[in-house]
Amino acid sequence: MKLGVFVRRECWTLSWRGKTIALALLVILLFVVGRGAYPFLAANHPEDGEMMILEGWISPYFLSDAAAEFKRGRYRTVLVLQAIYNSQEDTLFKDPSGRISDEYSSRMLVKYGVPREAVEAVLYPGVEKDRTYHGALAAREWLSKNGPWPKRFNVVTVGPHARRSWLMFAKAFGNTAEAGVVPLNDPMYDPKHWWRTSEGVREILGEGIAYVYARFFFSWTH
């Protein structure tokens, strides 16, 4: 007596040759992604403008490179974006003596050769979410009050964060100004072989996920 509980079906599966081809394609894909991930995320698309906007969250170790970019680009003004948090435990804006200072990055840029009159510190309340976009909005608000409004500007940030910063600033400024971006290389890992170090893997994977979120799921209404 047949109860009809089980049925017999035929299905297709990969042969050893098919599995070999599939594995080879996977290896090629990983190679292409590995080689192309950093150049894609660390977008380098400078505009020919007179204003440079520096994301102030970057490590002080990058400030000498930021000053070098200021000289290379022959900018007239640099806006240093600095989010201020209420926590006394936050050491982001502490100078070497441990004192909280909202001018530390600006002073270091001057030390590295940027004219003091060219540096403007833009302070804004820190947030826990969508910090890059809020920084872009803070720059737009500051410029609308203090001017002059730039036709073109470049955002200077660190390596693979560049493409996300470029996207956020372009959205924040809309068609009122042309946004460019300049990435600073992180000396903690080799950008051509980022997968060889934990720092590189964490940064590339983290920025890759963050960019996908910003590009496809971020709400521009807030």
Task: Decide if pLDDT at 69 tops 90.
Answer: yes
Determine the Cα–Cα distance for residues 152 and 13; give it in Å rounded to an integer: 56
Query: Binning pLDDT at 50, 70 and 90, where does residue 99 land?
Result: very low
The pTM of this model reads 0.80
Determine the Cα–Cα distance for residues 140 and 128; give it in Å rounded to an integer: 20
In tens, the pLDDT along 175-211 reads: 999 999 999 988 888 988 888 999 999 999 999 999 9
In tens, the pLDDT along 134-190 reads: 999 999 999 999 978 999 999 999 999 999 999 999 999 999 999 999 999 888 889
Determine the Cα–Cα distance for residues 172 and 157; give it in Å rounded to an integer: 16
Q: CATH class for domain 43-216?
A: alpha beta
Average pLDDT on 81-94 reads 62
In tens, the pLDDT along 47-58 reads: 999 999 999 888
DSSP letters of 64-121?
HHHHHHHHHHT-SEEEEEEEE-S-TT--TTB-TTS-B-TTHHHHHHHHTT--GGGEEE
